[in-house]
Amino acid sequence: MVKITGIEFRNPTILASGIMGTTGASLVRMANSGAGAVVTKSIGPEPKAGHPNPSMVKLECGFLNAMGLPNPSYADFDNEIKIAKEGADVPVIASIFGGNAEEFVRVAEGLADSKPDAFELNVSCPHAEGYGATIGTDSCMVESITAAVCDVVDVPVWVKLTPNVTDIKSIGKAAENGGAAAVVAINTLRGMAIDINSGYPILGNRFGGLSGSAVKPVAIKCVYDLYEALEIPVIGVGGVSTWEDAVEMIMAGASAVQIGSAVHEGVEVFADIATGIEQFLQNNGYAGVEDITGLAHEVI
Amino acid sequence: MRPINSKITKIIEETPSIRTFRFDTSLDDAQPGQFVMVWVRGVDEVPMGCSFKNGITVQKVGDATSRLFEMKEGDSVGLRGPFGKGFTLPAKDENILIIAGGVGVAPLGPLADEAISVGAKVTTILGARTASELVFEQRFSEAGDVHLTTDDGSAGTCGFVTTVLADMDVSEYDRICVCGPEIMMFNVLKMLEEKGVHDRAEFSLHRYFKCAIGVCGACCMDHEGLRVCKDGPVLNGSLLLDSEFGNYKRSSSSQRVKV
């Protein structure tokens, strides 16, 4: 059992936003596959079709995607959260996005009736103009949006950060100052692939975000830095596909880990990683995840 | 995987609105029922059932297929795949019923070929709106008996595939493999359920795909959260009872839309 921002999770693995989170039924399936909590697809103020395909490709080193925040809008999504809450025996976190504080507030208020256990603010999607990282690279906007959402909801607010900044600590601080209960780091790294036969960028949006094993060292460093700079918990995400990756992320400073692209190898990944972490803790005489959270800071 | 640059080697006009495109790329490990993502550069990338190891059979329905229909032999597209799970492969002496409607023949053609090669017995119900829209009639005839049906009666039985199916003793088939418009497949499923053999039936489904590799969840079906791109596109009839199948699907923005 892990407790973060007042919410109890049965294990420290969490389904990352954007993965299998479009419907209530798929969120339930991920919970039944062993996830300790699930985060929905990012939901916005209006229905959005997203970018044209190809929107995700597996490359030699990881995955490149530019979905373009496809979503049915909060008005059509509250029912999916209700389905997830009824069917899943784990906390359900609503990921939301908007172009400004008013839109974030409108979406959060629109979803409040479906009673998500927390909100995760997406200020980090790297390829949606006017949304995501456009906001998340500006610490003033991060602080004001976080504060605005915190004002209108009565559940914890997490803020998911982009690594595409010079200093992620200052953005993390802004989220903390705005009232965030936790930060989630990292979202994808901006990237691109080109088809050398035609010269066309492969993604329909031309560029997108890199995820998977390739980004893990970047995520570890961001989590390490944020753990040092912030008082609030850090939830680690980026390239976690094995229990060893998860333990490494936790030792960098994460209180829990989110898992995204690794679902590609099988939905059993949550149970496999949770069991692996538990076994590691037992084998080494640790009482819980909190015993190794940030261990890499203490040994030096 | 990155898209494989694939040159169109041959275009066959199957009907006024359906064409087969053969490529210089052969996906030799493709199983009947698996699909490829076809990247029409600068327009879109769309899923297509493999009608041959090196070919797809396409109906003109949207931007990507319209652009594909403007292409000539020698032009190229990007192909990724094969993806997903196909039909259960036929075994020697098995008795297989194929039910195909319209361009739904695409993944079933290779299944018929595979069935003959292993010594299975094939019967096909082949349906279309009108005689000129029937596809792969000869290909299915080479595999076994074919029952034709057209909405307007211009060939075979006047009616739908279910008109023919209603008079058949389906209990004699080991497996029933179906692809066509969803309403057609739904009516087939209902009829097979009444006859108590829906768990012998496999359906090749269509849903809106984004990632196509089982990660994003855009194609998930209620109520089990099955991913059509990775757990399917071929799904057993028993998984489809009490699902959204035949009722609704999701649009590109994941809104529910009626089938």
Best of A19, A22, A40, A61 to mutate (most B CBs within 10 Å, chain B): A22
Contact yes or no for B1 and A58 at CB 8 A:
yes
Summarize the confidence of residues B123-133 as an average pLDDT: 97
> Given CB atoms, is A22 within the 8 Å cutoff of chain B?
yes
Residues A34, B177: Cα–Cα separation, whole Å? 33
User: Which residues in chain B touch residue A97, judged by CB atoms under 8 angstroms apart?
Assistant: none
Residue among A23, A49, A72 minimizing CB distance to B217? A23
Interface A-B, measured as beta-carbon pairs within 8 A, has a size of 132
- pLDDT of residue A127 exceeding 90: no
Sorted by sequence, the CB contacts under 8 Å of residue A242 that are 6+ apart come out as: A272, A273, A276
CA distances from A195 to A34, B27, B104 (A): 38, 19, 31
- pLDDT of residue A1 exceeding 90: no
Helices (H), chain B: 63-70, 105-118, 137-141, 161-166, 182-194, 237-240
Summarize the confidence of residues A211-216 as an average pLDDT: 98
Summarize the confidence of residues A143-167 as an average pLDDT: 97
- pLDDT of residue B212 exceeding 90: yes
By the 10 Å C-beta count (0-12 exposed, 13-18 middle, 19+ buried), B53 is classed as middle
- What integer best gives the mean pLDDT of chain A? 97
Residues B97, A198: Cα–Cα separation, whole Å? 43
- What integer best gives the mean pLDDT of chain B? 97
Q: Which of A125, A140, A150, A222 is catalytic?
A: A125
Residues B189, B178: Cα–Cα separation, whole Å? 9
> Given CB atoms, is A56 within the 8 Å cutoff of chain B?
yes
> Given CB atoms, is B3 within the 8 Å cutoff of chain A?
yes
- Global ipTM: 0.95
Contact yes or no for A261 and B41 at CB 8 A:
no
Q: In a 3-state reduction of DSSP, which class is residue B207?
A: coil
- pLDDT of residue B149 exceeding 90: yes
Summarize the confidence of residues A208-237 as an average pLDDT: 98
Q: What is the DSSP string of A118-178?
A: EEEEE---TTSTTSTHHHHT-HHHHHHHHHHHHHH-SS-EEEEEPS-SS-HHHHHHHHHHH
Summarize the confidence of residues B22-48 as an average pLDDT: 98
Residues B10, A294: Cα–Cα separation, whole Å? 61
Contact yes or no for A53 and B250 at CB 8 A:
no
Match 């705005």 to its residue by tokens: A178
- pLDDT of residue A128 exceeding 90: no
Contact B250, B257 (CB under 8 A): yes
Residue among B3, B214, B220 minimizing CB distance to A25? B220
Work out the percent of chain B whose per-residue pLDDT is above 90: 100
pLDDT, tens digit, for every residue of B169-196? Answer: 999 999 999 999 999 999 999 999 999 9
Residue among B5, B220, B252 minimizing CB distance to A23? B220
Contact yes or no for B253 and A72 at CB 8 A:
yes
Phi, psi angles (nearest 5°) of residue B142: -70, -20
Contact yes or no for B45 and A30 at CB 8 A:
no
- pLDDT value, residue A146: 98
